[in-house]
Structure 1
Amino acid sequence: MMKPIIFIDGEAGTTGLQIHSRLHGRSDIQMLSLAAHERKIQARRSEALNSCDIAILCLPDEAAKEAVSFITNPQVRVLDASSGHRTTPGWVYGLPELDSEQPLKISKAKRVSNPGCYPTGAILLIHPLVASEVIPNDYPINVHAISGYSGSGRQLIDQYEDPSHPEHKTSPFIGYGLDLSHKHVPEMQKYSLLSHRPLFTPAYGKYKQGIVLYIPLHTRLLKSNSSLEKVHETLDLYYANSEYVNVQPLRDAESTKLLEPEILNNTNKLNIWIFGSKDQDQILLAAVYDNLGKGASGAAVQNLELMLYGLS
């Protein structure tokens, strides 16, 4: 029996290298690679894209769209790690925990779009609460997240890690997305089931990888029966059978004073925390995960497994 052929277009980038590392040594698949000097030759890329079983795109958005246009073989399936197709009709959103039907959709899809690192945490927090009507879909959602600098790719990694770089950075914290038009916002809105755009304020810290993401809630703006316990119960039940998403007990949240962004690095896990107290009308949702794991390459490999083997 022929082994499935996997081609990573953009394998020299941050996400591509991470995916390649996670797949290295596997005996159930065959990796197709291009020599460094061939990777920018359109004819060679097109040949590789059309001779594989699954193409994983680790490219800038426009380059990913171009790569898809090169594919003429109807048997080739695509897993796009860019943000180029995350809200495109006909593409399946590659977040298996979105709902009970999503793993099957991913397993059968010809075109799968891997989620963004920030939207992964935001959607996993918001979607179940809106779907269960704990949060109204017009709630004014604010998402604040701090990621390791690897979330911006090779350029910022080099700026932080190479002291000789002409734009060498030493800042402990950099806020960005101040025009409120970050490319992840449409994705967050769509898959969180929100009727209005969330306000998203991202930042980088002076560490390589890991995310802490926060979403504050005011109980006075929620459904009348919503409470800290109701929010926790809803999320805990929603992810009860999840392999990778873990909702932490309220008793643990009560005693937790610090959240470390690097605690789940090099894994595909995501921890959900719900903070608050009965005498406050405020709840703080938090997600901790690896922006290169569950936020990128780990999620890609999780989706690849579904595309290869379905739900078995």
Structure 2
Amino acid sequence: MAATKNDRSQKAKAATVFIDGEAGTTGLEIRERLSHLDAIDVKSIDPALRKDRGARQELMRAADLVVLCLPDDAAREAVALADELGADAPKIVDASTAHRVSSGWVYGFAEMAADQADKIRNAARVANPGCYPTGGIALLRPLVDAGIMPKDYPVTINAVSGYSGGGRTMIEAYEAGTAPPFDLYGLSLEHKHIPELQTYTGLTRRPIFVPSVGNFRKGMLVSVPLHLDTLNGAPSVAEIEGVLAKYYDGADLVRVVRADKAPLSRLDAEALNGTDQLELFVTGKPEHGQAVLIARLDNLGKGAAGAAVQNIKLMLGLT
């Protein structure tokens, strides 16, 4: 009887990972991070064969896990290619938006719920979260779960990101000095991150999401303004902060920055660059009955490659 992929993996000294689409920004970042892990052996395709269906499928067959850093349609095609392998199909982490709300896929935000990391560990298919949704979900899901925010609450999510999250064309425009210093976009209110924002926050009403990009390479702020008297129980700023702190108590990569430790007047979007940390803040004025929830992260760290590596390690039993 032929050995299965699982049998081969158990005997191997290092798990084999193939990054399909490694030449892009996220793919390069993931490869760099994995290159420092002795327990993982990254395999690359000959650049001349990167669109060769057979060559890609053979690398998938030999891999324990495949990371997809591809446009959505290409990611769907890659999954179909892997499915043809049957029992030899690898585990998959998809960094595109193609499967984030798809049945049969586990959402790769390990801190989203108490059992989410275990779901990722046991999954064959994991959809890596979007950078903006990572911040929005981290802020809102605890409030929805606690019953403080009604599920039909009219949420507005504002966000600004560095230009590295915008793909090759945007990166080239900013680095050539031809892009505007600040660009508000997604004004059709049809941004592709809205389905996952709504699904994983637990909201039943479609949120308004207004993203923007600034003239800095990476870094991100996601903010949600609130009128406290419209929430269940009219909670105080401190009570909201307490709910978030309890929800993420013990999390290594997500932390709530207490207002009494660091009173806010402004926030630097680039402060967490080069890390996989996600910081959450609650600021407000009790006398006005208003608050603003804020998430800060590196859009290429916890917002992309850092999350992918975290999921890879969970799926391969390395953490």
With the shorter chain as reference, the TM-score category is over 0.9
| Deviation digits for residues 38-96 of structure 1 (CA, Å, limit 9, x no counterpart) | 11111111211222110000000010000000012334110000000000001000000
Describe how 1:118-133 pairs up with structure 2 within 5 A. 118-133=132-147
Secondary structure of the corresponding residue to residue 309 of structure 1: coil
What residue in structure 1 maps to residue 114 of structure 2? Answer: 100
Q: Distance in 1 between matches of 2:104 and 2:288?
A: 44
TM-score normalized with structure 2 length: 0.93
Does 1:278 find its partner at 2:286? yes
Amino acid at match of 2:127: S
Q: Distance in 2 between matches of 1:96 and 1:38?
A: 34
Describe how 1:24-63 pairs up with structure 2 within 5 A. 24-63=35-74
Describe how 1:58-137 pairs up with structure 2 within 5 A. 58-71=69-82, 72-73=84-85, 74-75=87-88, 76-137=90-151
Q: Distance in 2 between matches of 1:239 and 1:277?
A: 24
Q: Any stretches of 5+ residues in structure 2 without a counterpart?
A: 1-10
RMSD between superposed Cα atoms in Å: 1.1
> How far did 1:4 drift?
1.2
Secondary structure of the corresponding residue to residue 250 of structure 1: coil
Describe how 1:251-262 pairs up with structure 2 within 5 A. 251-253=260-262, 255-262=263-270
Identity of matched residues, % = 44
Does 1:138 find its partner at 2:146? no
Secondary structure of the corresponding residue to residue 295 of structure 2: strand
Describe how 1:18-29 pairs up with structure 2 within 5 A. 18-29=29-40
Give structure 1 regions of 4+ aligned residues with deviation exceeding 3 angstroms: none
| Deviation digits for residues 5-61 of structure 1 (CA, Å, limit 9, x no counterpart) | 100000000000000011113221111111111111111112112221100000000
Describe how 1:90-239 pairs up with structure 2 within 5 A. 90-162=104-176, 168-169=178-179, 171-239=180-248
What residue in structure 2 maps to residue 264 of structure 1? Answer: 272
Q: Distance in 2 between matches of 1:269 and 1:7?
A: 26
Q: Distance in 1 between matches of 2:157 and 2:150?
A: 16
Amino acid at match of 1:197: R
Q: Distance in 1 between matches of 2:121 and 2:142?
A: 22
TM-score normalized with structure 1 length: 0.95
Q: Distance in 2 between matches of 1:38 and 1:235?
A: 47
Q: Any stretches of 5+ residues in structure 1 without a counterpart?
A: none
Does 1:250 find its partner at 2:259? yes
Aligned residues between the structures: 305
Q: Distance in 1 between matches of 2:211 and 2:307?
A: 20
Q: Distance in 1 between matches of 2:240 and 2:113?
A: 17
Q: Distance in 1 between matches of 2:311 and 2:258?
A: 28
